[in-house]
Chains A and B, each alone.
Chain A
């Protein structure tokens, strides 16, 4: 990856963060903390890695992305809109009656959404099924799922983790958004599952720890998949909760944000300035 390419991806991620603010402006609130911590990885997936086509969302040989931590849906909506899966005006319906972008994703309402997530501990098993189908059909396609770190306390994840390793599903990648905070406080205090990497290794996965807000490290990891032939891959992405909100980064209060107008204006201003820098760097 050249520096310009990295800057271009950072610009895309910043545009997505601005899309998140647009949705928050529409509804006044939302699960921004995890959406913003995961935004760089989700942007890298959609703008760098995934074989998906906004003009043909159901194309047969596509890669699949399942947002297991469905409450982070703002980051997926932001990326899908930026990628052109739907008109950006839809973002302004967030929080309104019957919106195609509800508080947890609904595959029947929005192109590009592969699964109805929201209840935690479901996405990994669904993704395993998708990855198995890709393997059975001999397709050169991959399935990715993004999990929250707090979500890992759901035991169903570990059923799926064991099964993925047992069946040697090396076209499956789990990305753990390890921002260290969940709604009640630090994940380590609520239910300590550290070291996360060792847990996945013990279940038979190939694991890499990265800085999940660093586009170089994210793209390097995505390019190295599968980390080991015959094993599912896990990216433990160390991230910052509410990344991009200067006044909210690393603060658990921003897990769910009831936004004030002055905060929204400040955040938009800061992100627009950042976007300008990235675009300049990218030469666009």
Chain B
């Protein structure tokens, strides 16, 4: 934990813009979403490679595919549910099935558009986009990871979906190259494996001292790639602990926890406790209060782990 917070949209927008300015085949696409995605400076510096479409996410996804068919590398960023659920068939057919080199980024992801309500939450994006064969699903955990994930996403030859939030995010890790499909072991332990993704990894790290107070030694894995999953890292950890808690800002159905459970049920059966948003239309309100309501703040996470292990709180 560094105490250094950044706005993930600005971090993302700058990283993409810097990359795009250095690579002429990159085209930035906006569905009335470019400025809020941090593309404001790029619009001025390379207007010929910034295309505005207004609010038509289905069309933009198809256009991105057509551009990629012609050797361009389009990046389309808008509010997460509108670039995943709204345009799902275009994502599946035009990007996934056609195997095009398109980068789609859902910002204000998860429940970070908290008070705007369920229409603006994206709690199913890992699930629905993860179902599209050949699409990588990324959810970086801190600003340094966002910066590096952008570079790796752009260099990856194939379709990628990345989710970022909009609440200020604390830097957790040193900046180092991002590898798709690789998790990071944050703490070594033997009693339980905790696997988290996105910015909730920061909450898991903050929960660790609370667990330690109760004598729990947790093996902690940060998982910034949902698809493909770092199976070996998970199996290696579960071999020691045999018990797993997953933590994500996503429905408990269909997300990281489900992917981990699917893996373990075939390869290394273990009890899995999935922490996330219940399968319902989430409430609106201040972001931190919603997280607390659904047990995703650091204290609630620690309590859930202790309960799972049968330890008195």
Interface residues in chain A, defined as those with a beta carbon under 8 Å from any beta carbon in chain B:
64, 107-108, 114-116, 118-119, 121-122, 124-134, 136-137, 143, 156, 159-160, 162-163, 166-167
* Pick from B27, B51, B93: contact of A122, CB under 8 Å: B93
Interface residues in chain B, defined as those with a beta carbon under 8 Å from any beta carbon in chain A:
27, 48-49, 51, 53-54, 56, 58-72, 74, 89-90, 93-94, 97-99
* A126–B61 CA distance with the chains assembled, in angstroms: 8
Residue of A nearest to B92 (CB): A119
* A107–B66 CA distance with the chains assembled, in angstroms: 13
Other than A133-B71, A163-B59, give 20 A-B pairs with Cβ distance below 8 A. Answer: A115-B69, A116-B93, A116-B94, A122-B89, A122-B93, A122-B94, A124-B62, A125-B58, A126-B63, A126-B65, A128-B62, A129-B63, A130-B69, A132-B67, A133-B72, A137-B70, A159-B53, A162-B56, A163-B53, A167-B51
A60, chain B: closest CB distance, angstroms: 8
* A116–B54 CA distance with the chains assembled, in angstroms: 25
* A150–B67 CA distance with the chains assembled, in angstroms: 26
* Pick from A107, A116, A130, A136: contact of B49, CB under 8 Å: A136
Are the CB atoms of B66 and A132 closer together than 8 Å? yes
| A159 / chain B contacts, CB cutoff of 8 Å | 53, 56, 58-59
Are the CB atoms of B62 and A156 closer together than 8 Å? yes
| A131 / chain B contacts, CB cutoff of 8 Å | 66
- The 3 A-B residue pairs whose C-beta atoms are closest, nearest first, are A129-B66, A125-B62, A133-B70
Are the CB atoms of A125 and B90 closer together than 8 Å? yes
A–B pairs, 19, beta carbons within 8 Å: A116-B93, A119-B89, A119-B93, A122-B90, A124-B62, A125-B61, A125-B62, A125-B66, A128-B62, A129-B65, A131-B66, A132-B67, A133-B71, A134-B70, A143-B66, A160-B63, A163-B54, A163-B56, A163-B63
Residue of B nearest to A124 (CB): B62
* A59–B16 CA distance with the chains assembled, in angstroms: 30
Residue of A nearest to B98 (CB): A116
B89, chain A: closest CB distance, angstroms: 6
Q: Is the interface of A mostly helix, strand, loop or mixed?
A: helix
Q: Is the interface of B mostly helix, strand, loop or mixed?
A: helix
* A162–B54 CA distance with the chains assembled, in angstroms: 10
* A213–B65 CA distance with the chains assembled, in angstroms: 31
* Pick from A118, A122, A143, A167: contact of B62, CB under 8 Å: A122
A276, chain B: closest CB distance, angstroms: 40
* A119–B87 CA distance with the chains assembled, in angstroms: 13
* Pick from B66, B74, B99: contact of A126, CB under 8 Å: B66
* A160–B97 CA distance with the chains assembled, in angstroms: 20
Are the CB atoms of A107 and B98 closer together than 8 Å? yes
* A160–B61 CA distance with the chains assembled, in angstroms: 11
Are the CB atoms of B99 and A108 closer together than 8 Å? yes
* Pick from A108, A116, A121, A132: contact of B63, CB under 8 Å: A132
* A156–B27 CA distance with the chains assembled, in angstroms: 22
Are the CB atoms of B94 and A126 closer together than 8 Å? yes
Are the CB atoms of A133 and B66 closer together than 8 Å? yes
| B68 / chain A contacts, CB cutoff of 8 Å | 129
| A124 / chain B contacts, CB cutoff of 8 Å | 62
* A21–B94 CA distance with the chains assembled, in angstroms: 30
* Pick from A108, A114, A125, A133: contact of B59, CB under 8 Å: A125
Residue of A nearest to B99 (CB): A108
Are the CB atoms of A129 and B62 closer together than 8 Å? yes
| B53 / chain A contacts, CB cutoff of 8 Å | 159, 163, 166
B59, chain A: closest CB distance, angstroms: 4
* A114–B62 CA distance with the chains assembled, in angstroms: 13
Are the CB atoms of A128 and B72 closer together than 8 Å? no
Are the CB atoms of B56 and A115 closer together than 8 Å? no
| A116 / chain B contacts, CB cutoff of 8 Å | 93-94, 97-98
Residue of A nearest to B87 (CB): A156
| A166 / chain B contacts, CB cutoff of 8 Å | 53-54
Are the CB atoms of A127 and B93 closer together than 8 Å? no
A133-B98 contact, Cβ under 8 Å, with A125-B61, A160-B59, A163-B53 = no
Residue of A nearest to B29 (CB): A129
Residue of A nearest to B64 (CB): A129
Most buried by B among A125, A127, A132: A125
Are the CB atoms of A130 and B93 closer together than 8 Å? no
A161, chain B: closest CB distance, angstroms: 9
A136-B27 contact, Cβ under 8 Å, with A116-B93, A116-B97 = yes
B57, chain A: closest CB distance, angstroms: 9
Residue of B nearest to A107 (CB): B98
Are the CB atoms of A132 and B51 closer together than 8 Å? yes
| A114 / chain B contacts, CB cutoff of 8 Å | 69
Are the CB atoms of A126 and B62 closer together than 8 Å? yes
* A35–B148 CA distance with the chains assembled, in angstroms: 49
